[in-house]
Homo-oligomer: A and B are copies of this chain.
Amino acid sequence: MAHTKGPSMNMHRDDLAGCSLVGIEVGAGPTETGRRAFSAVDPATGEELNPVYLVATDAELERAVHLAAEAFSAYAALPGPERTRFLHAIANELESDRDQIVERGRRETALAEGRLNGELSRATNQIRMFAELVEDEAWREARAQLPGDGSDWSSDLRSMRRAIGPVAVFGAGNFPLAFSVAGGDTASALAAGCPVIAKAHPGHPGLSELAGRAIARAARSTSMPRGVFSLLFDDAHEVGIELVKRREVRAVAFTGSRVGGQALLQVAAERDDPIPVFAEMGSINPLIVLPEAAQARGEEIAEGLHGSFTLGVGQFCTKPGVVLVPRGAAGDALVRALADRTEGTTDTTMLNTRTSHGYERGLALMRGADAELLASGTIATSSPACGAAALWETGLEQVASTPALLQEVFGPSTVVVRYDDPSTLAPFVRALEGQLTGTIHAEPDELLAHRALVDSLADRAGRVILNQFPTGVEVGPATVHGGPYPATSDGRSTSVGTRAIERFTRWVAYQNFPSEMLPDALRELD
């Protein structure tokens, strides 16, 4: 469709422009007409929301990438405190738009106001965390081999983490703030010294624009190079794929589906110079209840587990999707309590119809795999993007022959797998695909007898949890949100917590340079 409205960064903040942000300056908007366009849809009503969003043109993508490459050297070389100021300014700008962000988020995602407020706080907290991290140079982990003083080194050699170059960030649909345009990927890349070209998730373009404009305002007010940030819109895959192909782009961060992540991995691998792709593609997050735990606190486990698998309509990558429960009376009681709670679940509007249709396909898969449907949530809405909670049951014997039972179903569904013998659990875990998390519920003595099971979970997951639940990641220096493939494409990394910055750096050594030519972090080693 033709679209002639020009952009204006001077407009009242309530007005969304509906076009890509190419660099941070005012007036870098669209100059072409006749492009494809799309609208956000309120999943609760099916209503199309204003404005119409124009898909980024080739020229816009070209310019965003060019500006990012141009900005890289200067931006990466800034003293830490200047990047700190920029990041704090982003957090402040986001806070100043809090009401508008939450309201638009509610319309675009059907997530509750409380959740969106909490998620925005999480996003600004993690931006501030990275701001503080890079205020001094410790995060670069600088080291030196210095000759003299009886050392064996013949050359002065110093090395540190150095920014990798412009990063393409793909916003996630399920965390429209903390894992999207101004989420952890963008924050950690900007903190490292990498310009960011964000590809907005088509499910929440308005939220994305609000976040992108906050970043652009912060960049202008702190005098960052104009290519430090761009935001591109597309409701299909062309813009994202083209972005990953561009030589100027040096790393990719993605949170989303396995199909999406794998597509980007392939594009990156087929480049003349393959680049790292950090794709977080979700997992089934096995949760194991050992017999004594089931006996001692089955009801309590059922309550926590129900809360965890239905939280946010099950739209979490750490949702427990497979629960190992012992056969016998204690296990039966736990499962019954879980079924009762599942039937009482009424929160059912999913992020959008694409998500709810995907959820329907996932449920059909479970049916096709002969899992028994134990309980379903209540549908108390006429929302077109509806997804009711579902609790399934099968046996450990069936799982081995029916891998479909272990596929991720994105939404409020979990499958209880009944087992007889706890000694079969470690081999079961070892045969699983890579996971973001693995959880075990055990009584103290029982746990000591199951060290091998804990070890097996640590082999297959990025985070091992005892007697708690996997949803609700706390963001800090020790956080690990990663795991072997396919939980993430690079199982050695984390996409959450301060260590997420490592993804966008390379080790670089300087040999025999005089002090005045060294980066700050290396000069300090004298």
Contact = CB atoms under 8 A, between A and B. Distances in A.
A508 interface: yes
Contact of A433 (B250, B269, B273, B510): B273
Contact of A512 (B73, B144, B459, B465): B465
A265 B478 CA distance: 31
A468 B155 contact: yes
A337 interface: no
Contacts of A454: 513, 517
Contacts of A502: 492
Contacts of A463: 157, 159, 508-511
Contacts of A153: 474, 476
Given A462-B508, A464-B510, A464-B511, A145 B492 contact: no
Number of chain copies forming the complex = 2
Interface in A441-495: 444, 447-448, 451-452, 454-455, 458-459, 461-468, 474, 476-480, 482-486, 489-494
A511 B276 CA distance: 29
A76 to B, nearest CB: 9
Contact of A509 (B276, B447, B464, B508): B464
Contacts of A482: 506-507
A269 B265 CA distance: 9
Interface in A147-166: 153-155, 157-159, 162, 164-165
Given A154-B474, A466-B510, A492-B503, 20 more contacts: A73-B455, A143-B477, A143-B478, A145-B477, A157-B474, A157-B478, A164-B491, A250-B484, A265-B274, A448-B517, A462-B506, A462-B507, A462-B509, A463-B511, A464-B513, A465-B511, A466-B512, A482-B506, A483-B506, A484-B506
Interface in A387-413: none
Given A269-B269, A479-B509, A145 B474 contact: yes
A77 interface: yes
A155 B505 contact: no
Given A73-B455, A485-B273, A480 B468 contact: no
Contacts of A269: 265, 269
A275 interface: yes
Q: Which 4 A-B pairs have the closest CB atoms?
A: A480-B509, A143-B478, A463-B509, A465-B511
A499 interface: yes
Nearest to A433: B273
Contact of A480 (B159, B461, B462, B485): B159
Nearest to A147: B474
A514 interface: yes
A157 B478 CA distance: 7
Contacts of A462: 506-509
Nearest to A497: B159
27 contacts: A73-B452, A73-B455, A77-B455, A143-B477, A143-B478, A145-B477, A154-B474, A155-B474, A157-B476, A157-B479, A159-B463, A265-B274, A273-B434, A275-B485, A276-B491, A447-B514, A454-B513, A462-B508, A463-B508, A463-B509, A464-B508, A464-B510, A464-B513, A465-B512, A467-B512, A480-B507, A480-B509
A236 to B, nearest CB: 25
Of A274, A276, A485, A514, the most chain B CB neighbours within 10 A belong to: A274
A484 B250 CA distance: 9
A516 interface: yes
B273 A484 contact: yes
Contacts of A452: 73
A425 to B, nearest CB: 15
Contacts of A459: 72-73, 165
Contacts of A154: 474
A454 to B, nearest CB: 6
A304 to B, nearest CB: 12
A448 B515 CA distance: 11
Contacts of A467: 512
Nearest to A505: B492
Contacts of A165: 459
A484 to B, nearest CB: 7
A166 to B, nearest CB: 11
A492 B508 CA distance: 9
Contacts of A273: 433-434, 484-486
B508 A444 contact: no
B73 A478 contact: no
Of A153, A157, A476, the most chain B CB neighbours within 10 A belong to: A157
Interface in A244-278: 250, 265, 269, 273-276
Nearest to A456: B73
B479 A145 contact: yes
Contacts of A155: 468, 474
A284 B464 CA distance: 44
Contacts of A274: 265, 485, 489
